[in-house]
Structure 1
């Protein structure tokens, strides 16, 4: 249940970020913008895996002394921390100005009708 909810929230976050990134780009710049965004998204996902692995190793080392047999508490603590980090990213989106919600203006001369 938790993984399904986490996956749904991640999917909505990636869709929202993609929309905001490509909003003001015309058709000429959308290809380059989408490529750059995909690169940044892949880098951020690999950084997330690295952070989660480091957190898991840290919690395993800290909690191993308490519960030598069961490593489940380390996984619980890691999931909570990764969820908190993901929730903290909403602070960045809360700082967006209200004019972001307005329809995009066409900036590419080939789009003018």
Structure 2
């Protein structure tokens, strides 16, 4: 299924905390990859997506991941693998922005050569 245009973030049924983080970034419309990924991932469906660099893939999978996190549970609830240290740091920064208003949600970046 291919999406060629975005939808309004406020039409996706996201939590007030996630919407607050999105509004802080002054975003109103999703990108096509976000429009295609967020709804099925919110419904716990598997998604395979391919999109060019800079099209919003981190939010496409990051928003549903953060929405599904149970802040009362101390267990690791999601793991994202990245091919480079720089990309891992960039993803962590984006996820921290998305989860800024969700108390109890923690994002940690782990990579070689640094203490845990």
Greater Rg over alpha carbons, structure? 1
Higher relative contact order (CA 8 A, sep 6+): 1
Structure 1 or 2: larger helix share?
A: 1
TM-score, with structure 1 as normaliser: 0.27
